[in-house]
Amino acid sequence: MAATLSLSNVSRVFGDTRAVDQVTLDIAPGQFVGVIGRSGAGKSTMLRLINRLIDPSEGSISFDGSEITTLKGKSLRAWRRDCAMIFQQFNLVDRLDVLTNVLIGRLAEHGFLSSMAMRFTDAERTMALQALDRLDLVPQALQRAGTLSGGQQQRVAIAKALVQQPKIMLADEPIASLDPANATLVMDGLKQINTEDGLTVLVNLHTLDTARAYCDRIIAMRAGRVFFDGTAAQLTDDVVRDIYGTEGLRDFNEAVTSTQRIAVPA
Amino acid sequence: MAATLSLSNVSRVFGDTRAVDQVTLDIAPGQFVGVIGRSGAGKSTMLRLINRLIDPSEGSISFDGSEITTLKGKSLRAWRRDCAMIFQQFNLVDRLDVLTNVLIGRLAEHGFLSSMAMRFTDAERTMALQALDRLDLVPQALQRAGTLSGGQQQRVAIAKALVQQPKIMLADEPIASLDPANATLVMDGLKQINTEDGLTVLVNLHTLDTARAYCDRIIAMRAGRVFFDGTAAQLTDDVVRDIYGTEGLRDFNEAVTSTQRIAVPA
Amino acid sequence: MTATADFNDISPDDSVSALSKFEADFAEQRRRSRLAWAIGTVLFILAFAFTSWIGDFFKVTQVTMPDGSREWRWIIPAGIPRLGEYIEKTIPTLRWDTLGADFANWFWRWKIWMELLFETILIAFMATVFGVIGGFLLSFPASRNLSPNAWVLWITRRYLEIARTVPELVWALIFVFCFSVGPMAGVLAIGLHAAGALGKLYSEVNENIDMRPLEGVKAAGGTWFDQIRYGAVPQVLPNIISYTLLRFEINVRASSIIGYVGAGGLGQEFRTAMSFQEYTDLSALFVIIFVTVMIIDYGSEKLRHRIIHLEENRP
Amino acid sequence: AEGWKDDYQVLKFGILSSENEKDRLMRNEPLRGYLEETLGVEVEIFTAGNYDGVIQALSANQIEIARLGSSAYAAAFTATDGGVVPTLTTQKMDGTTGYYSIVVSRCDSGIKNLEDAKGKVHAFADPDSTSGYAVPYFNMVTREGFKPEDYFGTVTFSGSHEAGVTGVVNGTFDTAATYQNNAVDGIFQRMEEKGMIEPGQVCTIWESPEITSGPWTFRKNLPEALIEDVTAAIEEFPTADLEGYKLYSSWTVEDPNPDTGFVRVNAERYNWIVDMRAWIKEQRRSGS
Amino acid sequence: MNITQDQIAKARDRVPLAFQAPLQVRVRRYALWVCFTGLFCWCLYDFNISPARIWEGLGRFGTVASFMFPPYIWTSWAEFSEILNGLGETLAIAFLGTVLGAVFAFPLSFLGAKNINRLNWLRLSTRRGYDVIRAFETLILALIFIRAFGLGPLAGILAIAVSEIGTFAKLFSEAIENTSNKPVEGVKASGGSRLQQIRYGIAPQVNPVIMSILLYNFESNVRSGTILGIVGAGGIGFLLSDRIAAYKWGEAWSIIFLIIAMVYVIDWLSGIVRQRLIGKTDLAK
Ligand SMILES: Nc1ncnc2c1ncn2[C@@H]1O[C@H](COP(=O)(O)OP(=O)(O)OP(=O)(O)O)[C@@H](O)[C@H]1O
Ligand SMILES: Nc1ncnc2c1ncn2[C@@H]1O[C@H](COP(=O)(O)OP(=O)(O)OP(=O)(O)O)[C@@H](O)[C@H]1O
Ligand SMILES: [Mg+2]
Ligand SMILES: [Mg+2]
């Protein structure tokens, strides 16, 4: 398959825990894949393996037929650029302005001197601005990233991912630290990129509803293994109970739980 | 009226904003009153005026017939003890243990030396433990407050309020930073105190549903003024629209907004 | 590189205003940052030029060459080969076969030095105690967020500033006059300076605390003192302990030099060794102080980590 | 004698204030100006509060000339293995060129000499003081033939000359070591003048040999002619430029016995001080 | 709500530790206090700190302090220029000492930071190196430089610079270690090289910290710079110690006031620089 991301028998061991355990997956181009699972199931680890922020203990990952796990130096950095990563905590540089943060997505193309001097070409700047524009952030372009709200910061992170001109977009719980309104903006942004640009998107999610609403395909992990792999429709209540286990489920007072907040005009 | 809290024509001005504007209210003993309103409507300011954390610009507040606004020194502190305050962010001392945090509620009774040395009597300790017991927190009594979950912290704050042996309990959005399960526990706790001890409870709320579910009487504020004052039943949709205004209301993607998170077994 | 196809299809119509506004902002920001940079550079160069002129940094003068001839030279390169001279003098001759005796000869005054070292540490201890008491008590009225009123704030701040602005050595000179030679003058001098320095550090910590717990105490009817004791002190305590341990280390160094003007401790020995040209004594003293400071450094770091660790693991 | 000026186009001086001039502050600018004019070379003057740096600079050929106190001279002499020569020292109006270490007691205490002081409480000034400690200690051992620690009942440091004298007046100490320039000018005499103590209470019971005021000291490895020319120029300073000299020596009208100029000295006059330092160093080594 | 003895007993049964710390803790607490007080009192005794002595000293301090008023004013330019020159030298020593120290310390500090230099032996030996430098007394350093470069402020500048290398390298590397790894990971995930990670992820985080360390130490070097004059390494220190030695308290106080004023001005200026470069925001994170 062209431009398919394949994991075969990938494992990653931390001390005694097998964080990711013999995972085999094929992800076709253009899919919007959601990964769900309990805390500690290995979702983050899997994404980090793909981006090569950590190395697998065994197994192989390949993209478009070429092996990823053995990349080094410049070609490793090129791969990281090709599969952009978005983090739960945004991982922006608070003290740099939004524009520079987005331009960090271009660093892989830069040599030593130009990057040390923080010099970017006008074409790159334009590209960064266009990306920001898609996410409605041009007015904030010169503000320091640390002064933005969480939702804005996450959108900056997406813009940064966009200027990497990636082939795959990985997102590790991108909305976990956002309020519902911002979460919607961010998920919509990802969906838009997926449909408009045809980018493959692989996103870890904590909230089932969100996964159901956005994803073409849902993968559930449990204790490092892939436990379910199918469409939202196939994800029945029984399956969910298996994924999350039943212990600790609490029945909430409905009145309180519905945090459909009264809209707070900003 | 005996032990009634009366505000008459109370205003508070910050620079140009009239945060609280000519509010006149009578709150009878034993009522469970919810205060709702948009952000910036003056809810917090009103509670802080009653507890005298800030002083009114004009108007008078009286309790049981005696004037509150002119209190000073020792009698002001006694009044603060009489009307216990619970904050959205709990305002506990993270680095002290739960028991000491609760005992802070007794400080108004203490002289300089005994309070500097953190010496409390056995009777006070027992009292604190009893209060903690009511809120199911005895096992955590010696833990540091900072290590507790949000819901537990808010319950510690309630226990602290209880040992003050207050006549009124003020709560400023006590559940805004809690998840639904904990929010239920905290609201239930307040309700219990209200019914069992007959304490007057005045609570600011952001979520309409919660106000409807718990409060005998709902007061809505808008731009510093009391805009509605009645029972939950009287609070029709039209009234709500008036309170919150329609501008800026955003319709969220339902799937995302419903943050009924999958219960994550800890 | 082109600004690529991926983005070309985005119609810019609706965002023209935002983009052009950005262009204007960006140009403005660039202009301003260039200006600020230029001004900053010019000021820095001026300061550098002025101070290097005053400080003889680029001085060219006649120096005596090793062979006794006289040449005009820029003194820095001329002097660099001679940097080792003084150090060389202080290095004792240690031969392998007479190592024991050589060592004994090097540390010939070790009994007195140990006594003085002990005195030095005690001076540092006392000075730290005084400094911490003074600094701690004054740091609260000297914090903007905690001070009961503006007057108290002003007075305590000025007091702390003066205490720390005047160098320890100057205090020592003054106190030696007032209390005569001996460790007491040293304790007072270092203590006073430490109170000033710690008071400032502590009050900075105080200014960064979370005010909500204090409000919680206030709302429960606590006095100002209660708010400080229950709301502020527990928050700042770990920082205070760690600053205090750091200060102790600094004070050990300070008290090893303050004896130079007669305020007790090892500094006295330093001075005598210098003036009697007992060069190897200097290196021996250096070794003693270095080892001591290392041990204290290490110990206080362990202690600090333990405190932080205890903090984290409290049940 | 123009020869040395080719090699020494810049002359560097190091200046210290010496012990018996404690309340004088040198103003060196007039001297510098005068020397430049007279010698026709550049003159640079560096000041220091303590002799360690100046001695290092002398022995490292960094400065040519230093104005030192007597004990600093002795230190320099030792540090350079005799590589320095003294040429001039300061002379006061009454012709004296030095000062004396003395031991004082209360006149009414019955202690009239060192024999009487045996077993009593004696205070030296402070361990850094030449006249308040080193000189009396050295002389007591080498001339008077006793060790102060054993001879007196108690030996302490008072901290300063003034404190020693005050202690004697108050009875805290029976005897104290201090200094005087001559019988009418010294620490206790000055304290009497300023009203700090009643006149006539303090008597001198012992006096050391003259401690010659510190010399102008030259590196020995300088050209002879240079040493001679500079010495001559300094010697003439008071006559050639009286105003400048007065400023230099902080001359005041009230001073009954001001500095009036310089006289030639040779190394011999300081030999005993060099010996004294060697002896004290020796004592330190053997005493521990 | 009245509490009966009965209730207390019951509560005590349930949570005994709420009423009394465990024996071990109490013993440790008392032992600590006893040690501390013991040591303290012993010091008081050993250092001969008695009320009488304090009283007497305070009396003298009063006399000394009384010379503050009226402040001594230098009347002739010859005298005053000497003081000004001393102050200028002190300032030069502090400024150049700080700048030179920082220039050399900056690259060294990266070698000592755990999150940059992963070679343990190199990192630890670099850190010991900082310690050795810091252990040199500034006065000794001054003497070393006097031998090499002669008397005057240059020796002072270099003495301060060298001792600052040790201090700065230590502080900078701690600042580097205290940075958050998240931005670094963000840069890494975008394909940034190690140097780019440092430049974009770490540098923006440490720059303000380094800046404030620099400004703070500049100020404190003005103070250390005052003492160097005593050995002839330039600066105001000699002038001051000479005045004190000659009991010219009036003049000494005026010099002290000038030093204070100078530190104030520096403090004020560095406040402005800090504001401009770092912004009002969170310095102490
Ligand atoms: N760097 C690491 N060192 C040691 N163990 C690790 C490390 N990273 C992850 N683990 C362990 O691997 C397992 C999987 O972690 P991972 O973060 O991938 O889970 P997750 O599904 O992302 O959970 P969450 O929803 O909490 O983010 C966990 O048991 C975790 O403790
Ligand atoms: N200390 C203050 N200084 C200046 N303005 C203040 C202060 N406290 C409150 N205000 C202003 O008073 C108005 C009312 O604020 P208040 O906090 O009472 O609103 P609220 O109803 O509690 O809102 P929220 O739901 O956001 O807590 C707001 O406009 C606010 O900006
Ligand atoms: Mg995760
Ligand atoms: Mg509010």
Average pLDDT per run of 10 along chain D, which is 288 residues long? 78 78 68 90 85 87 89 89 91 86 91 89 83 89 88 84 86 90 84 84 90 90 90 92 86 80 90 88 75
* Mutation for E interface: D24, D62, D194, most E CBs within 10 A: D62
Residue extents of the structural domains in chain C: 10-54, 109-313
Give Cα B48 to chain centroid, integer Å. 10
pLDDT of residue C95: 84
pLDDT of residue D18: 63
pLDDT of residue B265: 36
- Catalogue all structural domains in chain A, each as residue range(s) with its CATH number: 5-258 (3.40.50.300)
Say whether pLDDT at B78 is over 70. yes
Say whether pLDDT at B104 is over 50. yes
Instruction: Give residue-wise pLDDT tens across range A226-240.
Output: 988 988 888 887 787
Q: C193-229 in b/e burial notation, b at 16+ Cβ within 10 A?
A: bbbbbbbbbbbbbbeebeebbbbbbbbbbbbeebbbb
Chain C residues within an 8 Å CB radius of A106: none
Higher pLDDT, B262 or C263: C263
Average pLDDT score, chain B: 83
Q: What is the DSSP letter of C65?
A: -
Closest to A74 in 3D by CA, of A99, A30, A108: A108
Lowest mean pLDDT among B206-220, C23-37, E148-162, E264-278: E264-278
Chain D residues within an 8 Å CB radius of C72: 9
Say whether pLDDT at C72 is over 80. yes
Lowest mean pLDDT among A180-184, B50-54, E142-146: A180-184
Say whether pLDDT at E38 is over 90. yes
Lowest mean pLDDT among A11-20, B251-260, D219-228, E227-236: B251-260
Average pLDDT score, chain E: 85
Judge whether E284 is closer than 8 Å to chain C, CB to CB.
yes
- Retrieve residue C133's tokens: 């008491």
Which residues is A228 bridged to in the sheet?
A220
pLDDT of residue E283: 36
* Angle between the N-to-C axes of helices E77-111 and E237-245, in degrees from 0 to 180, rounded to the nearest 10: 130
Average pLDDT over residues C148-173: 87
Chain B residues within an 8 Å CB radius of C239: none
Q: C128-153 in b/e burial notation, b at 16+ Cβ within 10 A?
A: bbbbbebbbebbbbbbeebbeeeeeb
Q: Are B129 and E15 in contact (CB under 8 A)?
A: yes
pLDDT of residue C3: 41
Query: Residue A14: CB partners within 8 Å, gap ≥ 6?
Result: none
Q: What is the DSSP letter of E201?
A: I
**H helix count then E strand count, chain D:** 11, 13
Q: How far apart are the first and last CA of chain C?
A: 59
Closest residue CA from atom 29 of ligand 2: B40
Radius of gyration of chain B (CA): 19
Judge whether B105 is closer than 8 Å to chain C, CB to CB.
yes
Higher pLDDT, C277 or D89: D89
Chain A residues within an 8 Å CB radius of B38: 262, 264-265
Interchain proximity A141–C19, CB inside 8 Å = no
Average pLDDT over residues C80-104: 84
Query: Residue B18: CB partners within 8 Å, gap ≥ 6?
Result: B11, B12, B223, B224
Q: Which ligand is nearest to the CA of A46?
A: 1
Q: How many residues belong to chain E?
A: 285
CB of A240 sitting under 6 A from ligand 1: no
Q: Are B248 and A265 in contact (CB under 8 A)?
A: yes
E282-E283-E285 Cα angle (round to 5): 75
Higher pLDDT, A252 or E98: E98
pLDDT of residue A254: 37
Say whether pLDDT at A25 is over 60. yes
pLDDT band at residue C101 using 50, 70 and 90 as cut-offs:
confident
Closest to A80 in 3D by CA, of A22, A160, A152: A160
CA of residue B178 to ligand 1 center, whole Å: 25
Subunits with 3+ Cβ pairs within 8 Å of C are A, B, D, E
Chain B residues within an 8 Å CB radius of A213: 253, 255-256
Subunits with 3+ Cβ pairs within 8 Å of B are A, C, E
pLDDT of residue D154: 84
Task: Please name the member of D25, D48, D247 whose beta carbon is closest to the beta carbon of E232.
Answer: D48
pLDDT band at residue E234 using 50, 70 and 90 as cut-offs:
confident
Q: Which ligand is nearest to the CA of A41?
A: 1
Say whether pLDDT at E117 is over 60. yes
pLDDT of residue D177: 93
pLDDT of residue E247: 75
Closest to C293 in 3D by CA, of E133, E140, E120, E219: E133
pLDDT of residue B160: 92
CB of A45 sitting under 6 A from ligand 1: yes
pLDDT of residue A265: 35
pLDDT of residue B253: 37
Domain E79-284 of CATH type 1.10.3720.10: yes
Query: Residue D268: CB partners within 8 Å, gap ≥ 6?
Result: none
Tally of CB atoms within 10 A around A30: 14
Pairing type for strands B217-222 and B32-37 reads parallel
Type of residue found at D139: N
Q: Which ligand is nearest to the CA of A87?
A: 3
Say whether pLDDT at E36 is over 80. yes
pLDDT of residue B266: 34
* Distance, CA of C139 to CA of C153 (rounded, Å): 10
* Angle between the N-to-C axes of helices E77-111 and C16-54, in degrees from 0 to 180, rounded to the nearest 10: 120
Say whether pLDDT at B241 is over 80. no
Question: Which pTM value belongs to this model?
Answer: 0.78
- Measured between CA atoms, the residue of chain C closest to residue A134 is C10
Average pLDDT over residues B100-111: 89
pLDDT of residue A264: 35
Say whether pLDDT at A145 is over 60. yes
Average pLDDT over residues C23-47: 88
- Retrieve residue E72's tokens: 């001594």
Q: Do chains A and D touch (3 or more CB pairs under 8 A)?
A: no
Q: Which ligand is nearest to the CA of B224?
A: 2
Residue extents of the structural domains in chain E: 15-46, 79-284
* Distance, CA of B180 to CA of A257 (rounded, Å): 4
- Measured between CA atoms, the residue of chain C closest to residue D41 is C62
Interchain proximity A127–C4, CB inside 8 Å = yes
CA of residue A43 to ligand 1 center, whole Å: 8
CA of residue A172 to ligand 3 center, whole Å: 7
Average pLDDT score, chain A: 83
Q: How far apart are the first and last CA of chain A?
A: 48
Instruction: Give residue-wise pLDDT tens across range A115-133.
Output: 888 888 888 998 999 899 8
Distance (Å) from the C-alpha of residue B89 to the closest C-alpha of chain C? 8
Instruction: Tell me the ipTM for this assembly.
Output: 0.75
D32-D35-D41 Cα angle (round to 5): 100
What residues of chain E, 44 to 63, have a C-beta less than 8 Å from chain C? Answer: 46-49, 53-54, 57-58, 60-61
Highest CATH level, class, for C109-313: mainly alpha
Our mutation pick for probing the ligand 1 site, out of A18, A23, A36, A44, counting the most ligand atoms within 8 A of Cβ, is A44
What residues of chain C, 144 to 173, have a C-beta less than 8 Å from chain E? Answer: 161-162, 165-167, 169-170, 173
Pocket of ligand 2 from Cβ distances under 6 Å: B 14, 17, 19, 37, 39-45
Say whether pLDDT at B132 is over 80. yes
Subunits with 3+ Cβ pairs within 8 Å of D are C, E
* Mutation for D interface: C73, C181, C272, most D CBs within 10 A: C181
pLDDT of residue B201: 92
Q: Which atom of ligand 1 is nearest to the CA of A15?
A: 4
Type of residue found at A203: V
The fraction of chain E above a pLDDT of 70, given in percent, is 96
Lowest mean pLDDT among B15-29, C255-269, E66-80: C255-269
- E277-280, long-range: CB within 8 Å, 24+ apart, which pairs? E277/E208, E277/E211, E278/E208, E278/E211, E278/E212, E279/E208
Say whether pLDDT at B255 is over 60. no
* Mutation for D interface: E151, E227, E239, E243, most D CBs within 10 A: E151
pLDDT of residue D24: 58
Interchain proximity E142–D22, CB inside 8 Å = no
Query: Residue E195: CB partners within 8 Å, gap ≥ 6?
Result: A112, A115, A116
Q: Are D97 and D265 in contact (CB under 8 A)?
A: yes
